[in-house]
Structures are given as structure tokens and as C-alpha cells.
Amino acid sequence: MNMRKFKRRINRIIPNGRQLVIGVPFIWLFLFFMLPFFIVLKISFAEADVAIPPYTEIYTFAEQKLQLLL
């Protein structure tokens, strides 16, 4: 493999400074934009309950394992 081709391939894989400067705030905004949707999705799969919060948990940690209760 040619060294020039190798450097081009590495430069395509590793983000440069401009991509990092734009990418970090974009990821931050995306996470906080999606958070309410994930909360609503969790509540929509849960069952109603007379408690606080007014729905049952859909996941639990038991015996060091994550269990989904759908």
C-alpha cells in the first residue's frame, strides 16, 4: 500500500478540528432534544399505577443484570 493512500485513509477516519468543533455542540443538542422523546417512550410502554411516578418501571437491575419488563 502506498504511504499517500494510507495517510488519506487515516485522515478520512479521524475527524479534524473543524468537525470536532461543530460535532460536540451538535451531539449535545441532539441528546437533550431526544431526552423528552425517550421519557415519553418509556411512559408509553409502562403500565398505569397509583403511585409516584404514576407508572411502573419497565426495566430493573436484578442479580447484576438488566431486565426489561414489556
Per-residue pLDDT at 28 exceeds 80? yes
Side-chain-side CA neighbours of 57 within 13 Å: the count stands at 7
Average pLDDT score over residue span 44-59: 81
The whole-angstrom distance between residue 21's C-alpha and the CA centroid of its chain comes to: 20
Q: Which three cell numbers stand for residue 3?
A: 504511504
Identity of the residue numbered 22: I
CA distances from 29 to 1, 5, 24, 34, 37 (A): 40, 35, 9, 9, 13
What are the extents of the domains in the chain?
3-68
Per-residue pLDDT at 55 exceeds 70? yes
Per-residue pLDDT at 70 exceeds 80? no
Q: Which three cell numbers stand for residue 55?
A: 407508572
Residue the block writes with cell 422523546: 37
Per-residue pLDDT at 27 exceeds 90? yes
Average pLDDT score over residue span 8-32: 86
Average pLDDT score over residue span 44-63: 81
Per-residue pLDDT, 26: 92
